[in-house]
Amino acid sequence: MHRPFHHLPRIAILGLAFAAVNVVSQTTPVPVPLNAQTSEQLEMMPPIPVITGGVSFNAQFIPGQQQLLPVVAPIVLVPIGKWGLIESEFEVEAEAVHNTNTGWDPLPVGKSLEYAQLDLFLNRFVTLVGGRFAEPFNIYKERLDARWIRNLQEPPLIFAFSDQSGNGGEVRGGIPLSANVDLNYTGYFSAFTSGEIAGSERQTGLRTSLYFPRPRLEVGFSYDHKLDGAHVTGYGTDITWNMRSLPLDIRAESLISADAGNGYWVEGTWRFAGGRYPKWLRGSQAVIREEQYFPPTVPLEDTELPGTDATRVFVGWNFYLNGALRISAAYGRQFAPDDNHNLWDIGINFRFLK
């Protein structure tokens, strides 16, 4: 039997070793004075509505099956005076599946309203959000889910727990506790809403984190409790660390839940930036991710979490043709009882802004 998180002590020790090296090697950049003219511009130029978002096309190959996954996700941002913002993201995703033995499956087209919310900046530390919002459990859903941001196109196994949106409200903000530490917080409540495109569960939760800007390290904690059905409770932790001394980014999340299971993923990205690499290599990233998931004794119904213990390892490569266009390729191997298989993924991501 697997013991959940039995690798964590080793990961923690490794992380601390990196922290020591990172902090010791830091240098203090020289402050740059502000341009007074820019401050005037800042006040004089009112914001305008913006349309942004991403378009991506991926092909995935697993034994006996090939998938084509086009996704379009426009984001609309509409400023409200000096104190508000309406923001919305709508995602359309097709999943064309070809089975080696049986041919093409019917083509399902998924449509979902990721968020459609009104943000009110009450003051410098408190923002009220009302409407439909992406669930702020851990960091993947809010910050990393966009296809042009993901380092690997296949999301982590435990993302199925938090891949949802809520209809209700949030209180959130960022508070600098000192020059070295920021506190981030989000508390939310969502009401039950039926519907395929904009449905939600009745639930409540929070995420809070401490961000240390000097070493660029954030450590977060999340809690989510479903108020209907099986009353599932989940706890999460997340860490992001963008090293200053090395072009290395580390991201990790865990899910701890007696009802939904336990799991984690750890991802490292090496950026080939700077003069020591050949010119053709400089827009590249190498990615590696390891993850595990262990379901509860009584698996949840209606969940996309795996039904058995699962371990996956991915390696990938991203290449930025320019700031808006990226091509990617990845190889993964899943280890699960009766389901060991390879997974190949190639794709192209484009982000736009008008």
Residues 21-80 that bind other proteins (CB under 8 A): 23, 26, 28-35, 38-39, 41-42, 45-50, 52, 75, 77-79
Rg (CA), the chain: 21
Identify which of residues 98 and 271 has a Cβ nearer to other proteins in the complex.
271
- Write out the binding residues for other proteins, residues 233-272 only, by CB under 8 A: 237, 240, 242, 249, 256
Query: Residue 142, interface with other proteins (CB under 8 A)?
Result: yes
Task: Name the minimum Å distance from CB 250 to other proteins.
Answer: 11
- Write out the binding residues for other proteins, residues 195-224 only, by CB under 8 A: 209-210, 212-219
Q: Which helix (H) or strand (E) is 129 found in, with range?
A: strand 127-134
Task: Name the minimum Å distance from CB 20 to other proteins.
Answer: 7
Cβ within 8 Å of residue 75, ≥6 positions away: 51, 52, 53, 87, 88, 89
Query: Residue 107, interface with other proteins (CB under 8 A)?
Result: no
Q: Which of 13, 14, 27, 32 is nearest to 244 (CA)?
A: 27
Exactly one of 107, 149, 191, 321 binds other proteins (CB under 8 A); that residue is 149
Q: How many CB atoms lie within 10 A of CB 311?
A: 17
Q: Which of 340, 337, 161 is nearest to 261 (CA)?
A: 161
Task: Name the minimum Å distance from CB 276 to other proteins.
Answer: 19
Total residues contacting other proteins (rule CB under 8 A)? 82
Identify which of residues 38 and 297 has a Cβ nearer to other proteins in the complex.
38
3-state helix vs strand vs coil in the chain, percent to 5: 10, 55, 35
Q: What is the DSSP string of 71-128?
A: EEEEEEEEEETTTEEEEEEEEEEE-EEEETTTEEPP--EEEEEEEEEEEEE-SSS-EE
Task: Name the minimum Å distance from CB 154 to other proteins.
Answer: 18
Task: Name the minimum Å distance from CB 315 to other proteins.
Answer: 20
Query: Residue 1, interface with other proteins (CB under 8 A)?
Result: no
- Write out the binding residues for other proteins, residues 287-346 only, by CB under 8 A: 320, 323-324, 326
Q: Residue 175 region, left (φ>0) first, then alpha (ψ -120 to 50), else beta? A: beta
Q: What is the DSSP letter of 11?
A: H
Task: Name the minimum Å distance from CB 56 to other proteins.
Answer: 14
Identify which of residues 74 and 173 has a Cβ nearer to other proteins in the complex.
173
